[in-house]
Amino acid sequence: MTFIYQRSYCGPLQGIILDWAGTTIDYGSQAPAMVFVEVFQRQGVGITLEEAHRPMGKAKWDHILDITHMAAVAQRWQAVHGRLPVKEDVDAMYEAFIPLQVKALVDYAFLIPGTKEAVAEFRQRGLKVGSNTGYNREMVNLLLAAAAKQDYIPDSTVCADDVPAGRPAPWMALQNAREMGVYPMEAVVKVDDTLPGLEAGLNAGMWTIGVAKTGNELGLNKSEVDQLPVKTLQTLLKQAYQRMYRAGVHYVVDGIWDVPVVLDDINRRLAKGERP
């Protein structure tokens, strides 16, 4: 008789990797969305906030490229410029994007409520805390400085230009794990409010927790969320949860404050030898 033996990790979680905008800082992921709208407007092409939010989580050059590939946007571009957008257009918009984003980051660099408390609990559990983002190094350094003033200092921070390819490739998440010294990958959780960010965690072999209420899937700031009628908010959240679950995410929560309870369930599953 022939057998295949499979080794299973049954220890506890060792690390957690958090996204930035929409997950830990900048409720509703407002800073990048507003700048994408401005960059296209400077080209004479209007885009909606929904279109600006749709590729969120990717490296910013890739994000701009994805917007130009949207059929409705390409049609508007052709109406204005007499042709479809090309790589040189994306390059030019990205160059314009960088200083605008750097300026906007400071205006939106406030921790999402519950972030400090959740991170404190992660550390109390003995977890290393990493972070990664679609921002480049210049941008993320500004976020790190702003977050440090609010007592949030990750153990490892990786950005899109630190690795060969940004999300949904797994390289940023794997680099976080390497810098934090945690393995195997099933001992790590990726928390993100964007589908590409969550897909990166899945591609890295990690557990994934989607953040629906405070992030890109709703795309609303806290004041806007608080002003929504209860039924409207419930409908929007249900749709966001469904989109994330359809993408293969293991868990979805409203905000980072709900993550600690999920970690208990993951540890229970790990103890039984389950894998992501």
Residue 8 covered by a domain: no
Give yes or no: residues 64 and 120 share one domain: no
pLDDT-derived band at 1, boundaries 50, 70, 90: low
| Domain, as residue range, for 80 | 31-108
Torsion of CA 60, 64, 69, 71, to 10 degrees: 130
The number of folded domains in the chain is 2
CB neighbours of residue 71 within 10 Å: 7
- Cα 22 to Cα 57, 145, 155, 179, distances in angstroms: 10, 17, 19, 24
What is the rounded distance in angstroms from the CA atom of residue 76 to the CA atom of residue 253?
36
Question: Which tokens hold the place of 113?
Answer: 């409520």
- List pLDDT tens digits, range 204-226: 999 999 999 999 999 999 999 99
Question: Which residue in 19, 89, 155, 192 is the catalytic one?
Answer: 19
Give yes or no: residues 66 and 117 share one domain: no
Distance between alpha carbon 41 and the CA centroid of its chain, in Å? 25
- List pLDDT tens digits, range 95-124: 998 888 888 888 899 999 999 999 999 999
What is the rounded distance in angstroms from the CA atom of residue 252 to the CA atom of residue 233?
16
Give yes or no: residues 143 and 114 share one domain: yes
- SS3 for 168? coil
Residue 91 is among the residues annotated as catalytic for this protein: no
Residue 19 is among the residues annotated as catalytic for this protein: yes
Question: Which residue in 26, 58, 60, 155 is the catalytic one?
Answer: 60
pTM of the model: 0.88
- List pLDDT tens digits, range 154-176: 999 999 889 999 899 999 999 99
Question: Which tokens hold the place of 71?
Answer: 């059929």
Highest mean pLDDT: which range of 5-14, 54-63, 218-227, 256-265: 256-265
What is the rounded distance in angstroms from the CA atom of residue 206 to the CA atom of residue 196?
14
